[in-house]
Structure 1
Amino acid sequence: MTSNLQAYRGSLLHFLADPAFSAQSHDWFEDGLLIVADGKVQAAGDYAALHATLPPGAVVHDYSGKLLMPGFIDTHLHYPQTDMIASPSAGLLPWLETYTFPSERQFEDSHHAANVADFFLDELLRCGTTTAMVYCTVHPQSVDAFFAAAEQRNLRMVAGKVMMDRNCPDFLRDTAETSARDTEALIQRWHKRGRALYAITPRFAPTSTEAQLQLAGELALAYPDTFIQTHVSENEAECAWVRELFPNSRSYIDVYDSYGMMRPRAMYGHCIWLDERDRQRMAETRSAAAICPTSNLFLGSGLFDFERADAAGVPLSLATDVGGGTSFSMLQTMNEAYKVARLKGSYLPALRMFYLATLGAARAMQLEGTVGSFVQGAEADFIVIDPQATPLLQRRTARVNSLEELLFALALLGDDRAIAATYAAGQQVHVRETT
């Protein structure tokens, strides 16, 4: 116990396993205590048992009536698309051409990139998201701006420069060689600096030549503890385009596999139009799926199949996919994920949705024990959720009879207003304004 120890009292929840596969999936203490020191979790459990272990004079922050949980983890989103969220379009490909690419052009300006990065991170924290896997633009300065803003807030963030050397406007096009050179320099500058982690980031197969994908795979081999992030099988028209561009590949995901890009710490956005062999290969390589329900519905891309992904053993996580996604809030993302599952004939309990946004995401990213839970030694990234944040939530949660009902109400009725406070490495980085 160190001199800077802090304790937080409230209802406490964190996960031990996936509720879909384990009856002992979580720890729940209706009157709990979280003990933090030096930015790490020291203990988490029942208040009556742990309070007696506190040293004399220890500060106890009282959040009674609120829920303490690990911070949310968002495994797929684009910070350069912040200013174009909620832009109308008939589909993915025209949306990219009309809004995305012109917006990303502005990130050649470092001051613009820094301004957007500041807003983006503050918005994540306001919504209770403490870790994210983030796409920057082709401009190395966009990565520098993002990581500098995250470092200022001491956040555990994963990000990378987009690699894109064809089928895009000239003003956003790099080359296979320059993209690999820039990526390696950024890895050496940022990966594992403080809480920063680097992701090798080809945008998606259609915007990379075979030479660029080859170099991306070589970087992934040379730096095995980096992350990989890209898109796969989001949209039927996109999948047809990939078949034309890569006629020798068995499937869209096989394109990436052939270049050595399926491995632990590889995160594939969307994963809607996969076949059984694709899912089997993801499970074999521990490549993970980032499920993006709000953007998939917004762009009409399709419905993620939870049942088949679970049957294959694919590592799963939830993601907002801002700006195709329409909310920074992981609670709103759970709301849409629940409905997507119902439309595909599956049922997502609230416990599982909260697992996928915390420990499940950490596992998918190979960061279990670092973030996503309250195990001893984990980084103290946590949030305070207020079940009485709105009049409707207050009325509904007053009538719940179980933890599942409480979480379900938060997922279906909650948004950024339900996040009373956010902490990163034990320091408060957001507190909800009250009138």
Structure 2
Amino acid sequence: MSTNRQAYRASLLHLLDDPAVAGDGAVVWHEDGLLLVEDGHVAAAGSFEDLAPALPDGVAVEHLPGKILTPGFVDAHIHYPQTDVVAAWGAQLLDWLTEHTFPVEQAFEDRAHADAAAAFFLDELLRNGTTSALVFGTVHRTSVDALFEAALARNMRLIGGKVLMDRNAPAALCDTVESGRADTEALIRAWRGQGRLGYAVTPRFAVTSSDAQLAMAGELAAAHPDILIHTHMSENLEEIRAVEGLFPGHGSYLGVYERFGLVTDRSVFAHCVHTTADDLRKLTEAGATAAFCPSSNLMLGSGLFSLRKACGCGTRVALGTDVGAGASFSLLHAIGEAYRVGQLQHEPLDPLEGLYLATLAGARALKIDHRVGNFEVGKEADFVVLDPAATPLLARRTAAAQSLRDRLFALSILGDDRAIQRTYLMGRLAHAR
């Protein structure tokens, strides 16, 4: 069989581990680097000087001077049906859901609408350098069919799920315990093993699911050990009070999910802004992940997630854009927002830690780090070409950068989709600016 090979010469940056834990030894940086891709997988990644002499005969090297190759970004929490309410003015979480989210989600019963929204959503991810994501659909099975079909066509490594929601929402957006189980099982059967897709059991949050539905979600997760659990927790103080009223005697918000078997090493809890240290330690013991969504937490006035507190408890954390409460699809932008949230708490975020949260940490949260997340040999070649000179201001600022951290910090504060020159999926060009 013939081998398809491509080689790219540029600066090369990726993480082998969390630099906040492992130190700078986790950082791989080659100012003059080379990435060799064979049949969609990383065959070599290192310095050009070391690797170029050993390149197989006939392999052309594309030189990208001034550019930086990084792994594709991994979004640990995002809602594709909320694309049309990005930048919607409103109050805080519960009112925002009622005024903006629930009305737009009702349209996803129509497959043509879902198809158009899914195509736009995935192309927007790729335009922003995001190659994998954990995605909320709506309560409609059609929403997930549309998302997965579009992702399969693009060969994206993507995980999604149908929302489970049987109370405290408009009737048009409520399922039942029985219909939610049937639809979820049908979606798992239809899409498991298709391309690079994965499934997540997706109760919206405790407020909109009955005891019986949360129990059913836990049963589904236990019956299918290859799928994730994706929901929200402790985002907003009013939401937390609502959960306390609906589930008295559970001790905490996390205690509700614990009761129904939803706290595992496959669980991703979006936000966790107001989670106690005790519950963070329980998340750590379970191996669960908190998805830090700084943009939406600021937009909705939910509060300030403390990365230092979570990491001090040993909790896994990854970064999410949380579109549409989040204001941008760009994980570069999210790194910048995470820095600002940290500054308000006197917890400055190291730029390299920010890159980790947007790449390998996300891959670990989604249980796909054996496939993507860095440039280790054998992994799938999902990567982006960053342009530090994408805008006049960015070009001027990065040209004066005194270190890798300085250059990366400028990209996270000043960069957006314009800084993504190209996005590749398994070595194939998926987006070019």
Q: Same fold (TM over 0.5)?
A: yes
Q: Is the 8 A contact 2:270 2:292 kept in 1?
A: yes
Give the counterpart letter for 2:22 in structure 1: S
| Corresponding residue number in structure 1 for 2:4 | 4
Q: Which runs of 5+ in 1 are unaligned?
A: none
| Corresponding residue number in structure 2 for 1:73 | 74
User: Bigger CA drift: 422-431 or 182-191?
Assistant: 182-191
Q: Which runs of 5+ in 2 are unaligned?
A: none
User: Bigger CA drift: 359-368 or 85-94?
Assistant: 359-368
- In the alignment, is residue 205 of structure 1 matched against residue 201 of structure 2? no
| Corresponding residue number in structure 2 for 1:48 | 49
User: Bigger CA drift: 341-350 or 316-325?
Assistant: 341-350
- In the alignment, is residue 157 of structure 1 matched against residue 158 of structure 2? yes
Give the counterpart letter for 2:321 in structure 1: T
Give the counterpart letter for 1:276 in structure 2: A
Q: Give runs of ≥4 in structure 1 deviating > 3 Å.
A: none
User: Bigger CA drift: 156-165 or 86-95?
Assistant: 86-95
Give the counterpart letter for 1:124 in structure 2: L
User: Displacement of 1:265 after TM fit?
Assistant: 2.0
User: Displacement of 1:369 after TM fit?
Assistant: 2.4
Q: Is the 8 A contact 1:202 1:230 kept in 2?
A: yes
Distance 1:17 1:134 in 2: 24
Secondary structure of the equivalent of 1:20? helix
Alignment of 1:265-414 (within 5 A): 265-414=266-415
Give the counterpart letter for 1:15 in structure 2: L
Distance 2:2 2:51 in 1: 16
Alignment of 1:33-182 (within 5 A): 33-182=34-183
TM-score normalised per structure 2: 0.99
User: Displacement of 1:225 after TM fit?
Assistant: 1.2
Q: Deviations over 1:334-378 (max 9, x none)?
A: 111001011122111100000110011112222222111000111
Distance 1:133 1:177 in 2: 25
Q: Deviations over 1:320-341 (max 9, x none)?
A: 0000000001111111100101
Secondary structure of the equivalent of 1:52? helix
Q: Deviations over 1:134-167 (max 9, x none)?
A: 0000100110000000000000000000000000
Q: Is the 8 A contact 1:286 1:315 kept in 2?
A: yes
Q: Deviations over 1:386-432 (max 9, x none)?
A: 00000000000111111100100000110000000000011000000
Q: Is the 8 A contact 2:7 2:34 kept in 1?
A: yes
Give the counterpart letter for 1:334 in structure 2: I
User: Displacement of 1:2 after TM fit?
Assistant: 5.5
TM-score normalised per structure 1: 0.98
Q: Is the 8 A contact 1:191 1:226 kept in 2?
A: no
Between the aligned residues of both structures, percent identity stands at 53
Secondary structure of the equivalent of 2:243? helix
Give the counterpart letter for 1:135 in structure 2: F
User: Displacement of 1:25 after TM fit?
Assistant: 1.4
Q: Is the 8 A contact 2:13 2:27 kept in 1?
A: yes
Q: Is the 8 A contact 2:134 2:366 kept in 1?
A: no
Distance 1:394 1:2 in 2: 41
| Corresponding residue number in structure 2 for 1:19 | 19
Q: Is the 8 A contact 1:264 1:366 kept in 2?
A: no
Q: Is the 8 A contact 1:40 1:379 kept in 2?
A: yes
Secondary structure of the equivalent of 2:67? strand
Secondary structure of the equivalent of 2:270? strand
